[in-house]
Each structure stands twice: as C-alpha cells, then as structure tokens.
Amino acid sequence: LLHPDVSPKPPQTPLQSGQPFKFSILEICDRIKEEFQFLQAQYHSLKLECEKLASEKTEMQRHYVMYYEMSYGLNIEMHKQVTGLGLRVFRREGGGLEALRRTQSGQPGPEQT
C-alpha cells in the first residue's frame, strides 16, 4: 500500500548480481512512518469530506421538508379557493335556475311578493 508519490529509496551501495535488495531497519521504519502519515492525512481528508456531505444532506432534507410543507399548504389553499368559487357559481346559477322555474310555472318569486 504505497502511495504512488513515495518511491523506494535507492540502496546506499550498488547491488551486485545475486545480492538481495536490502533496506536498513531505520529506512524501513521511515517508510512505514511516511506511509502511515500519508494514510492518516487521507483518512482525515475523507473524514472531513464525509462530515461536509452529511451536513449538506441534512440541509437538503431541511429544504425538502420546507418545500413539501409549502406545496401542501398551497395545494390546500387552492382546493379551498376552487371549492369556494364552485359554490358561488353553483349558488348563482342555482338561484337563476330557481327563478326561471318559478316564472315558467307562474309562481311569483320572492322579489315579486
């Protein structure tokens, strides 16, 4: 799990054929420390991004609830207004029909008495 920017350090002495590639214990510890620090920085960066996304998610949920409540309220208000308008038209037309029926049947209306 090496970071691509971290390349192995060249050995102190040139290798001869058949000689194994060796690091000193200090070099190995330094490499482990560098990798650990890199992973720690990566973890910290990812943790901050995760917290930022969680905060954005909470904000989006808050906006969703707010818009949902507004939409619901507008829907109810529109329903009330349309129903009220329908009732007024029905009463107006109903009253006109009632007067028309009275005149056709020969009965006096309330305004004629």
The 10s digit of each residue's pLDDT in 11-67 is 445 445 555 567 799 999 999 999 999 999 999 999 999 999 999 999 999 999 999
92/74: higher pLDDT: 74
- What is the number of domains present in the chain? 1
CB-based contact 35:3 (threshold 8 Å):
yes
Domain that holds residue 82: 25-106
CA dist., res. 96 & res. 101, Å (int): 9
Examine residue 15 and state whether it is found in any structural domain, yes or no: no
Examine residue 9 and state whether it is found in any structural domain, yes or no: no
In terms of C-beta density within 10 A (0-12 exposed, 13-18 middle, 19 or more buried), how is residue 102 classed? middle
2-11: list long-range contacts, CB under 8 Å, 24+ apart.
Answer: 2/35, 3/35, 3/38, 6/31, 6/34, 6/35, 6/38
Asked if residue 4 has pLDDT above 70, the reply is: no
107/41: higher pLDDT: 41
pLDDT at 105: 76
pLDDT at 71: 96
pLDDT at 91: 79
